[in-house]
Structure 1
Amino acid sequence: MPNTLNPLELIARRWQPSARFVERAALATVIMAVIIVVTGGAVRLTESGLGCPTWPTCTAESLTPTPAMGINGIVEFGNRALTGVLCVIVGLFIIAARARHPRRRSLTRLGWAQFWIVMGNAVVGGITVLTGLNPYIVSSHFLLSTGLLTVAVVSWKRAGEGDGEPRGLVARPVRQLAFVLVLATAALTVIGTVVTGSGQHAGDASKDVHRIPLDWQEITQLHVDFVYIVVGLSVALWFTLRAVKAPAAPRRAVLELFGCLLFQGVIGYVQYFNGQPELIVGLHMFGSTLVWIGVLRIFLALRDRGPVPAAPESTTAATDAGDATETASPAEQPAKAPAAR
């Protein structure tokens, strides 16, 4: 009985994406992960968290929102629909990574990791609705989205480099300083979710939405303290990289992080002193994704795995020859030599 090929293997035999295409597909997953975070924030800020009062359908009788539900139902359902778009983009990355020769299992595993995080977060989103926007579940929903963004950024980086053993580009203490920066930024993100869970934007107009029973201003001050820690670590890392004459890529990444931190700091102070306006809070959430991406890029830029593996020439030649044979007309086929008499 002949072996049955799975669909990904069949695609890999017929399609050879370039390394650049795979890298762009990985970048698309990063962009979609950012969009999911921002649109999720829009659901909360427009008080549309219960725009669809149940899950997985929008109402008990309808999959989609009804006209009576107004803009809140549209916003909530639109965020759910974006999950499908995200799955398509992640699926494209998985297929492209699998079809590329030589096969890189590390890339396909990262793609599947993204897929399962999306599926898990969809379930957590449903639990969020069914529990009436429990703030702890809402926080875990955001943190899972941040986890998805993390894996997407790693996928993007790995798609543009080889599979060699990681080689440090700077001394180990410098890499440890960068890792401390990652940890501090992760703590900043977690504290930010607590600020959200105890703040005034509950996600729904109902006064019955439970909030985290903490003093919002005290948690906000802790959040600001960690901002100063992250900025201080970034400055220290910048001077350290200059002192050790690190390659240009990580030093440029730190400068890009400074720009993100400046943007985020201005937005943070504007929202704090102006009563948390919805648009500014949304920009602050967008800024948080940029800061996290910037920190991860610094950490990943401090090691090297060599160039992207090139596709085998035999595979490329066989594909080109097969294409030429399939597209040639009978008149273009080479004439057979006459048989010897």
Structure 2
Amino acid sequence: MPNSLNPLELIARRWQPSAAFVRRAALATVVMAVIIVVTGGAVRLTQSGLGCSTWPKCTPESLTPTHAMGINGLIEFGNRMLTYVLCAFVGLFIIAARARHPRRRSLTRLGWAQFWIVMGNAVWGGIVVLTGLNPYLVAAHFLLSTTLLTVAVLSWQRAGEGDDAPRDVATRPVGQLAWLLVAATGALTVIGTVVTGTGPHAGDAHKVHRIPLNWQEITQLHVDFVYIVVGLTVALWFALRAVKAPATARRRVLELLACIALQGVIGYVQYFLGLPEIVIGLHMLGSTLVWIAVLRVALSLRDRGPLPEDGPADGDAPAAAADGEPAEPQVASASSR
């Protein structure tokens, strides 16, 4: 009965987005995930981390920042409001994925995973404020944003491929090398959050607790992992050439090398210039681009077949055959459920 249908089901009966639209909606969530990381960094680098003194309100008496709070309150509150924009883009992806026929439950699950990560990270951000920018919680806040970016990239990838069982396009050792590269890049990201937690930019003008480690030693460890990632990336490129892997995979490794090189230049610039805020912001942007690139490398080493062909909307009856016999069952639609 139509009255028993949920809103997503009703939309799916009236709107048939193209596969290209679903993929663009997925890409939009990737872009927004990057923006939320960069703007979150801007909050810290402008010393606006406690621009709103509490959560979920901005002050104990006001939901929004007051004039007396100045620019810091506006920056912190603006970053909170950006979460709603992010939710809107995630919601668009969920709706488009649900309305697309044949229905692909894997896409809607990825969309809902993004939504709940956003909600969880919003609450975590509130805890960060309430604990006075505890550096360990700030690091976890960034890593949750990286988790959101990971799911968004996976959604983007899945929106452009089929639902066949994954098939390796290179030998198993090459695939293992690719995932080792992903793991090393993940470790590099985690160490980067520790560098941030020991560094001078605590996120607020007042004294804020820092991670009690030597900043230069942690930075050197971070640099060491950069060399490990570079070495693994170069090794992977030669391995892909040796096994004559598809050109797409080799091209994505070169894209990753370009991102790493740019990020390395930015890293050395910020170190020798004494950590200027604008350069640190660029470094945070670079970290998201490196992570996207390394995920795309690993995901390029599998093939899941072509996208399912367009099928009828849920509940539509198959068209009858011209001679009056029952129509053939919609195999493509059924197999995708």
Equivalent position of 1:159 in the other structure: 159
Q: Which residues of 2 match residues 284-303 of structure 1 at below 5 A?
A: 284-303=283-302
Residues 71-123 of structure 1 show CA distances to partners (whole Å, capped at 9, x for unaligned) of: 10011001000000000000000000000000000000000000000000000
Equivalent position of 2:168 in the other structure: 168
Q: Which residues of 2 match residues 105-254 of structure 1 at below 5 A?
A: 105-207=105-207, 209-254=208-253
* Number of aligned residues: 317
Q: CA deviation at 1:198?
A: 0.6
Q: CA deviation at 1:315?
A: 4.8
Segment of structure 1 superposing worse, 136-145 or 61-70: 61-70
Equivalent position of 1:71 in the other structure: 71
Match of 2:50, SS state, is coil
Residues 54-79 of structure 1 show CA distances to partners (whole Å, capped at 9, x for unaligned) of: 00010111111111111100110010
Equivalent position of 2:265 in the other structure: 266
Q: What CA distance in whole angstroms lies between the structure 1 residues aligned with 2:67 and 2:249?
A: 51
Unaligned runs of 5+ in 1: 322-341
Q: What CA distance in whole angstroms lies between the structure 2 residues aligned with 1:182 and 1:140?
A: 19
Equivalent position of 2:26 in the other structure: 26
Residues 245-301 of structure 1 show CA distances to partners (whole Å, capped at 9, x for unaligned) of: 100111010111111011100000000011100000000000000000000000000
Q: CA deviation at 1:220?
A: 0.3
Q: What CA distance in whole angstroms lies between the structure 1 residues aligned with 2:248 and 2:242?
A: 15
Equivalent position of 2:51 in the other structure: 51
Q: What CA distance in whole angstroms lies between the structure 1 residues aligned with 2:41 and 2:30?
A: 17
Equivalent position of 2:310 in the other structure: 311
Residues 194-213 of structure 1 show CA distances to partners (whole Å, capped at 9, x for unaligned) of: 00001000000002x11000
Letter of the aligned partner of 1:53 in structure 2? Answer: S
Q: What CA distance in whole angstroms lies between the structure 1 residues aligned with 2:231 and 2:77?
A: 41
Match of 1:147, SS state, is helix
Q: What CA distance in whole angstroms lies between the structure 2 residues aligned with 1:57 and 1:186?
A: 34
* Aligned 8 A contact 2:12 2:313 in 1: no
TM-score, scaled relative to structure 2 = 0.92
Q: Which residues of 2 match residues 90-105 of structure 1 at below 5 A?
A: 90-105=90-105
Letter of the aligned partner of 1:85 in structure 2? Answer: V
Q: CA deviation at 1:131?
A: 0.1
Q: CA deviation at 1:3?
A: 5.8
Q: What CA distance in whole angstroms lies between the structure 2 residues aligned with 1:115 and 1:125?
A: 15
Residues 128-163 of structure 1 show CA distances to partners (whole Å, capped at 9, x for unaligned) of: 000000000000000000000000000000000000
Equivalent position of 1:9 in the other structure: 9
* 1:75–1:237 Cα change, 3 Å: same
Letter of the aligned partner of 2:296 in structure 1? Answer: R
* 1:2–1:69 Cα change, 3 Å: closer
Match of 1:222, SS state, is helix
Match of 2:82, SS state, is helix
* 1:102–1:274 Cα change, 3 Å: same
Match of 2:52, SS state, is coil
Q: What CA distance in whole angstroms lies between the structure 2 residues aligned with 1:64 and 1:2?
A: 41
Unaligned runs of 5+ in 2: 320-337
In percent, how many aligned pairs have the same letter? Answer: 79
Equivalent position of 1:282 in the other structure: 281
* 1:315–1:54 Cα change, 3 Å: closer
Match of 2:4, SS state, is coil
* 1:7–1:228 Cα change, 3 Å: same
Letter of the aligned partner of 1:212 in structure 2? Answer: I
Letter of the aligned partner of 1:292 in structure 2? Answer: W
Match of 1:290, SS state, is helix
